Amino acid sequence: MFKLAHFSDIHLGPLPDVTFRQLASKRVTGYINWRRNRRLNLDHGIIDRITDDMLAQDPDHVALTGDLVNLALDKEIEAAKLWLEGLSSPENVTVVPGNHDAYVPGALDKAVKAWGPYMAGDGKKPPKDRHTFPFVRERGTVALVGVSSARATAPFLASGYFTKKQAKATRRLLEEAGEKGLFRVVMIHHPPIRGATGAHKRLYGIRRFQKMIRKVGAELVLHGHTHLPTVHHIEGPDSTSVPVVGVAAAGQAHGGSKPPAHYNLFEIEGEAGNWSIRHSRRGAREGTLEPTLLSSEELYLQRP
């Protein structure tokens, strides 16, 4: 059995000191949002409890689907690097970026360079910029395929983009992993599901992503961004149905409009053509601080 933990949207805080020059961009709207909302609803103490509980489950690997920071300030990116190093080694953790990690032009390149060891494909050097996606990492019977939907956007937008170039390269990686009989997990920040979030936060390239999965298949798709615990399905090859699983924000405190923090835990068994997936959610219920089991279910690749 292979245990895969998944969490997302940490939004590490508090914000470092911000200069007026740094706010002369989209960051000014994000800073106002932080002051009015996020600093009240995001709680680093929750993240500590979530990660401690997650590591106590002894997962074989951890998948983190973006938004480590808030405004992608240089000091935030460096703090997130140190936080990742305290979590575990790059061998045990795989990261893809989110829209907050690419908050303004140039920020994503800095984030990718800083967190590169956690985004490096097997046998590859740590990436230097945003042009290195997708990548693949093989861990036991599992292949983790990391893609990036992150990009800098205008104020009041948080959309992502799955490009033609990425689709072509990701398809090749999925085909190769499928030929090896591996359980293929695609990691992306924005949900590749129509209607999963508002138009200003959507993924451009959903049709392209779903066409790719329909052609070559995958066993599981993981995303963040919505701050919601969700399970959708998209069509795979030969009438299969591929689970697409979202997760609440790992930094979400109690009392907000979104569910408090939790993470996903997948127990994967079997072999190509005959996989079983036990999906559990662990996190903090309203009124409590300590994480506990919230739900558990089997995920099915085949349509009923």
C-alpha atoms less than 13 angstroms from C-alpha of 238 in its C-beta half-sphere: 6
pLDDT at residue number 35: 47
For residue 80 the two structure tokens come to: 């997130």
Question: Is there a domain that residue 304 lies in?
Answer: no
Percent of the chain with pLDDT over 90: 70
Tell how far CA 278 is from the center of its chain: 19
Query: Does the pLDDT value for residue 39 go beyond 50?
Result: no
pLDDT tens sequence across 110-119: 999 999 999 9
Whole-angstrom distance, CA of residue 72 vs CA of residue 108: 8
Q: How confident is the model at residue 14 (pLDDT cuts 50, 70, 90)?
A: low
Q: How confident is the model at residue 44 (pLDDT cuts 50, 70, 90)?
A: low
CATH number, domain with residue 69? 3.60.21.10
Contact 216, 177 (CB under 8 A): no
| Average pLDDT value for residue range 214-233 | 97
Residue 76: which domain range?
2-299
For residue 70 the two structure tokens come to: 């808030």
Q: How confident is the model at residue 8 (pLDDT cuts 50, 70, 90)?
A: very high
Nearest alpha-carbon partner for 178 in 288, 259, 104, 275 = 275
Say what angle helices 164-179 and 206-216 make with each other, to 10 degrees.
Answer: 20
Question: Is there a domain that residue 18 lies in?
Answer: yes
Query: Does the pLDDT value for residue 301 go beyond 90?
Result: no
Whole-angstrom distance, CA of residue 29 vs CA of residue 125: 36
Domain count, the chain: 1
pLDDT at residue number 2: 98
> 41-57 as b/e, with b when 16 or more CB fall inside 10 Å?
bbbeebbebbbebbeee
pLDDT tens sequence across 23-36: 445 554 543 454 44
Contact 134, 177 (CB under 8 A): no
pLDDT tens sequence across 232-247: 999 999 888 999 999 9
Whole-angstrom distance, CA of residue 39 vs CA of residue 176: 43
Say what angle helices 107-114 and 74-87 make with each other, to 10 degrees.
Answer: 30
Neighbours of 136 (CB within 10 A): 22
| Average pLDDT value for residue range 199-203 | 94
Whole-prediction pTM: 0.90
Query: Does the pLDDT value for residue 304 go beyond 50?
Result: no
Sign of CA dihedral 268, 272, 275, 279: positive
Higher pLDDT, 163 or 251: 163
Nearest alpha-carbon partner for 69 in 256, 251, 255 = 251
pLDDT at residue number 288: 72
pLDDT tens sequence across 126-183: 998 889 999 999 999 999 999 999 998 888 888 999 999 999 999 999 999 999 999 9
Question: Is there a domain that residue 128 lies in?
Answer: yes
Question: Is there a domain that residue 145 lies in?
Answer: yes
pLDDT at residue number 21: 54
For residue 172 the two structure tokens come to: 């090749």
Nearest alpha-carbon partner for 261 in 26, 15, 43 = 43
